[in-house]
Amino acid sequence: MSVNGIHHVTAIAGSAQGNVDFYVGVLGLRLVKRTVNFDDPLTYHLYYGTEVGAPGTILTFFAWPNAYRGRAGSGQVNATALSVPMGSLGWWQERFKAQRITYDLPVKRFEEEVLPFQDNDGMQLELVAAEDERPAWSGGQVPADYAIRGVHGVTAHEEGYEKSAELLTETLRFTQLGQEGNRFRYRANEGRGMIDLLCTPDGPRARGGAGTVHHIAWRVPDDSEQLAWRKTLVSADMNVSPVLDRQYFHSIYFREPGGVLFEIATDQPGFATDEPKESLGTTLKLPPWLEAARAQIESGLEPISVP
Pairing of strands 107-109, 112-118: antiparallel
Q: What's the rounded mean pLDDT across residues 235-242? A: 97
How high is the pLDDT of residue 197? Answer: 98
Q: Judge whether residue 251 has pLDDT over 80.
A: yes
In angstroms, the Cα distances linking 273 to 71, 136, 166, 176 are 36, 22, 37, 37
Q: Compute the distance between CA of residue 18 and CA of residue 175 in angstroms, rounded to an integer.
A: 38
**In 71-182, which ranges are E strands?**
76-84, 107-109, 112-118, 124-129, 150-158, 175-180
The fold of 6-300 is 2,3-Dihydroxybiphenyl 1,2-Dioxygenase; domain 1 (3.10.180)
How high is the pLDDT of residue 292? Answer: 96
Q: What's the rounded mean pLDDT across residues 140-146? A: 94
How high is the pLDDT of residue 211? Answer: 97
Confidence of residue 248 (pLDDT cuts 50, 70, 90): very high
How high is the pLDDT of residue 138? Answer: 85
Confidence of residue 66 (pLDDT cuts 50, 70, 90): confident
How high is the pLDDT of residue 2? Answer: 82
Q: Judge whether residue 216 has pLDDT over 90.
A: yes
